[in-house]
Structure 1
Amino acid sequence: MGSGETTRTNWRLRYARRLAWSDFFVVVWAVWGAQLLWFGDDSERVGVPEKLTTFTVNYTMFSVLLVLAWALVLTIGATRESRIVGAGPEEYKRVAASSLQLFGVVAIIGFAFQIQFSRGYLLVALPAGIVALLLERWLWRQWLNSVRRLGRYSARCVVVGGSRDVRDIIATLRRQSSAGYYPVAVCTTRPGAIVDLPSGIPVEPVAELQAVMKQHHADTVIMAAGHGMSAREVRELSWTLVPGEQHLVMVPNLVDVAGPRIHTRPVAGLPLVHVETPRYEGAGRFTKRAFDYLGALLLVIVLSPVLIAAALAVKLTSRGPLLFKQERIGLHGEKFRMLKFRSMVVDAEARLGELLQRERDAGNEVLFKLKDDPRVTPVGRFMRRFSIDELPQLFNVLGGSMSLVGPRPPLAREVELYDEAAHRRLLVRPGLTGLWQVSGRSSLSWEDSIRLDLYYVENWSLVGDVVLLWRTLKAVLARNGAY
């Protein structure tokens, strides 16, 4: 194996080592910081009454053991596995779960051997350590995502499949570089059928797979749904891969289905994939409504200075009503009045027909939003840039017509153009924010808007809502796609 190949294929080990060292320093900071905070300088030996136990706890030694144990459980818990780092919530879940399990074991040992640990010391070390570890992993993820956009620190992949499937996979992986899969070549049973690939992607017969992988220093084979090979041929292909160094990834014919809905169950050698049908009633809907109400109430209280300042700015700089009320379509096709701070001139609706004839947003046949709309006031332009004009929709959320997170609330004329798939957006309440907000906002095409909304509808989770609210804050501050 040449030096170039070694450099490419050992990124997993190098990155895991970096995470291990930074994890260790974070744990040292958390544990020793908790000791100094709780005991000060007098923490060499902190005793407990004789009537409670025969042990005297040396907290300096205990801190050393706790640091070593914490670093060990992070390794045992596979928190640095290359398949989970860089994308998705699994890395964070494993870090938190491993840390909680360690402190659970410490508590059990203390109870079993009648050792009276200081509860305050542990109650400081545990949350401080978990928060610091999650922050450290998030910072590493930002660095990893930046270098992955350059094709580094990613699994170099050879895609095996038919024409359309191959193009879709390559386009998706290049668009989502943070996932850590970088396509470098294509192998197929019909080389002449593969067309319209990005430049620099060679196409070779599948019989030359190992030669192609060696030539391009690839370590992963991705089998698309339409690869055209029998089960026996796929199994024999997997035998040609080097165990532990080369990996096989199967892409099933399932799109926009999140992990919680997928369950794999082997039956008589068949890897059966169970896909749960989405449910929109019961406890899940009650939980989401409670989360929406409490979250909107908290945001109204916290953002009340911004709401007051925006209201004064609108009133003092232009004639007309403070709020713009527009009829939108909500849950199950019911109409409601969506609230926004008025960001346009008073006769904006009367001038809409003229603008519709003159210009439509590029690549979007249903949605209409001009980048340089002459109807927008100077104050309105500023509010739109930071989505301040959307804040009155918090009162829609409190009233139950909207949700904090959900599909974009459509106009009636847009719903008239919906096909059957698009109508599924109406199975949940529209949201103040959603995947459309954090993935491009006004710059999205109609097809992308529908795809993102349907993904949310089919795969909703409370944790996902929290993540989307956090991503919305970042998107608003970055002003991505806002106009």
Structure 2
Amino acid sequence: MRHSQASSRYGGIRRPSVVGRRSLPHRDTARWYAPVAVTADASGVFVPVLTVYALAPEPRPLAAAATAGLCWLTIRAGHRRYLRGNLGETRGLLAAAHDWLVLLGVLAGLRALTGESSAVGSALVALAPAPLITGVTCALIHHHLTGQRHQAQALRRVLLIGEPGPVDDVAARLAARTDHAYVVVGTVLAGPGATDCGIPELGRLDASCPERVPAVPDLIPDGQDGTTVLAAARRQDADLVLVIPGPVLGGERLRRLTWAVQDAGIPLAVASGLTEVARRRLSVSSAAGLTLLHVAPPLRRGAQPLVKAVLDRAAAGVALLALAPLLALVATAVRLDSRGPVLYRQTRIGHRGTPFTLWKFRTMVPDAELRRPELESANDHTAGPLFKMRGDPRVTRLGRLLRRSSLDELPQLFNVLRGQMALVGPRPPLPEEVARYGAVELRRLGVKPGLTGPWQISGRSELSWDEGLALDLHYADNWSVTGDLDVLARTLRAVVDGRGAY
């Protein structure tokens, strides 16, 4: 069925596709999110500033702590961090760092205006815990909300409106992942045909065009479309009407349906048809009454790619110096564990199809490549060109430990230092894999392969080929320096967990 295929492609944990009235999910998020977030933010500034200024000692510690705390809460509230629809939706680490920099600027301005005379060093020490406390609090709320959604809690009930094919596609995407708040509880189909997703059909919009709109907008009735959609929304107690425009449902008809739904007090959203495009790349404008959605191109040139390249090489150099004793210890252990070279060299395909030699600590017996043909039948990734198998007999005893801990990947820091790889990027493919690529798969070569990446923090070898490809393509088109920092932070947890490493 189309629904199950889409679930395999887009990854994640698939929710049940059929949601009846008696099994509706709970919509409310935990009520303690906002009070806990506000309390953590306030105490994360007030207590350290009061303590440091009292011990320094600095003048007026209580006034300084109260001012800093009030500014911090105002900045966070101004950026809408405490809204119920925002709390827990992201880990909030980068947002906390951004707000903290704004706080420093605001306090510096107040210092200049008031002539406040405390030492700059004392102020920085006192304010340093704020982004950490806020970031940890946001991460804990995000973790709790994610757990709630795995249990069908804190979700928004969605009524899908559109033609059968697009409805199937959107329903499959929403059901395939749990990193969002939407669960489809019903559909109203436009035009002929039926869906394959199994979600209850609660109404049908005729394929013919509706009657002309009266001249006075205030006198426009709901009309047949509006009456059908509103009845379905009220029947399932929908939190959102999600409309998918198309030949049957577009233009003036979509406009009238929007009026009917919003006049009834029900939120409405329109699916654009774009997929795997980061929100920061989108902007909206209007021309001649048309609403235009602008899509910024992926970052291929400019300041951010240059910053990424400089940071990658600098970080790789520092890491190699810091990890030199560990590298020597692992090299010695590999040499003593089994015969063969310490390092394993393999040709991989890098940026824009350029081949390079990738280095890893050897985790297999020396004749591993010669033995691969006899193991093809045991490949766990039969749907794509990737070869992975659990309990691979070619892996050495030490190799299993190195793979689970990802220590075998450390020599790739030399590849990063040489500019052949990045710290974060798609998995570097083999030449035989690339030989089987089509036009879609080749797009993942638009950026440098990475030492870590979306696959590393999303399950590694447990991902299907389609799931891993979707992650790589999304990264190639939507990467950013701040996104890379987030992936690096999450990589540590993935390495400790060891899930999917074999």
Instruction: State the partner residue of 2:13.
Output: none
What are the within-5 Å matches in structure 2 for residues 323-334 of structure 1? 323-334=343-354
Contact 2:191 2:248 in 1 (8 A): no
Instruction: State the partner residue of 2:210.
Output: none
Alpha-carbon shift at residue 29 of structure 1 (Å): 4.1
Alpha-carbon shift at residue 268 of structure 1 (Å): 3.1
RMSD: 2.8
What are the within-5 Å matches in structure 2 for residues 279-318 of structure 1? 279-318=299-338
Q: Residues of 2 paired with 1:388 and 1:451: CA distance?
A: 26
What are the within-5 Å matches in structure 2 for residues 73-92 of structure 1? 73-88=75-90
- 1:373 and 2:392 are equivalent in the alignment: yes
Alpha-carbon shift at residue 97 of structure 1 (Å): 4.5
Report the 3-state secondary structure (helix = DSSP H, G, I; strand = E; otherwise coil) of the residue aligned with 1:241.
Answer: helix
Matched length: 459
Report the 3-state secondary structure (helix = DSSP H, G, I; strand = E; otherwise coil) of the residue aligned with 2:370.
Answer: coil
Report the 3-state secondary structure (helix = DSSP H, G, I; strand = E; otherwise coil) of the residue aligned with 1:193.
Answer: coil
Report the 3-state secondary structure (helix = DSSP H, G, I; strand = E; otherwise coil) of the residue aligned with 1:177.
Answer: coil
- 1:215 and 2:235 are equivalent in the alignment: yes
Q: What percent of counterpart residues are identical?
A: 34
Instruction: State the partner residue of 1:438.
Output: 457
- 1:22 and 2:37 are equivalent in the alignment: yes
Contact 1:8 1:217 in 2 (8 A): no
Q: Residues of 1 paired with 2:192 and 2:414: CA distance?
A: 57
Letter in structure 2 aligned against 1:164: G
Task: String of CA shifts for 1:444-476, please: whole Å, max 9, x gaps.
Answer: 222222222222221221111111112222222
Rate the CA distance shift 1:95–1:226 in 2: closer, same or farther, 3 A: farther
Contact 1:27 1:67 in 2 (8 A): yes
Rate the CA distance shift 1:371–1:21 in 2: closer, same or farther, 3 A: closer
Alpha-carbon shift at residue 94 of structure 1 (Å): 5.1
Letter in structure 1 aligned against 2:171: I
Letter in structure 1 aligned against 2:440: A
Q: Which runs of 4+ in 1 moved over 6 A?
A: none
Letter in structure 2 aligned against 1:71: L
Report the 3-state secondary structure (helix = DSSP H, G, I; strand = E; otherwise coil) of the residue aligned with 1:178.
Answer: coil
Report the 3-state secondary structure (helix = DSSP H, G, I; strand = E; otherwise coil) of the residue aligned with 2:455.
Answer: helix
Instruction: State the partner residue of 1:471.
Output: 490
- 1:204 and 2:205 are equivalent in the alignment: no
Q: Residues of 2 paired with 1:367 and 1:282: CA distance?
A: 33
Q: Residues of 2 paired with 1:366 and 1:65: CA distance?
A: 60
Alpha-carbon shift at residue 137 of structure 1 (Å): 0.9
Q: Residues of 2 paired with 1:303 and 1:482: CA distance?
A: 22
Q: TM-score, normalised by structure 2?
A: 0.83
What are the within-5 Å matches in structure 2 for residues 17-416 of structure 1? 18-40=33-55, 47=59, 58-88=60-90, 95-190=96-191, 192-197=193-198, 201-206=199-204, 207=225, 208-226=228-246, 228-241=248-261, 246-356=266-376, 358-416=377-435
Rate the CA distance shift 1:405–1:107 in 2: closer, same or farther, 3 A: closer
Alpha-carbon shift at residue 138 of structure 1 (Å): 1.1
Alpha-carbon shift at residue 351 of structure 1 (Å): 0.8
Report the 3-state secondary structure (helix = DSSP H, G, I; strand = E; otherwise coil) of the residue aligned with 1:337.
Answer: strand
Contact 2:425 2:449 in 1 (8 A): yes
Task: String of CA shifts for 1:329-368, please: whole Å, max 9, x gaps.
Answer: 1222222111111111111111112112x32224433111
Contact 2:46 2:69 in 1 (8 A): yes
Task: String of CA shifts for 1:100-133, please: whole Å, max 9, x gaps.
Answer: 4455344333322434345344323333212211
Q: Residues of 1 paired with 2:264 and 2:85: CA distance?
A: 13
Q: Residues of 1 paired with 2:125 and 2:345: CA distance?
A: 49
Task: String of CA shifts for 1:115-169, please: whole Å, max 9, x gaps.
Answer: 4345344323333212211211111111111101112112221122233332332
Contact 1:31 1:129 in 2 (8 A): no
Q: TM-score, normalised by structure 1?
A: 0.86
Contact 1:86 1:178 in 2 (8 A): no
Letter in structure 1 aligned against 2:53: W
Q: Residues of 2 paired with 1:39 and 1:191: CA distance?
A: 74
Q: Residues of 1 paired with 2:138 and 2:72: CA distance?
A: 15
Task: String of CA shifts for 1:292-337, please: whole Å, max 9, x gaps.
Answer: 1012122223333432232122111101111111111122222211
Contact 1:219 1:245 in 2 (8 A): no
Q: Residues of 2 paired with 1:461 and 1:146: CA distance?
A: 27
Task: String of CA shifts for 1:397-436, please: whole Å, max 9, x gaps.
Answer: 1122211111211111111111112222222221112122
Contact 1:159 1:183 in 2 (8 A): yes
Task: String of CA shifts for 1:29-58, please: whole Å, max 9, x gaps.
Answer: 432222212323x97xx65xxxxxxxxxx3
Rate the CA distance shift 1:278–1:322 in 2: closer, same or farther, 3 A: same
Instruction: State the partner residue of 1:54.
Output: none
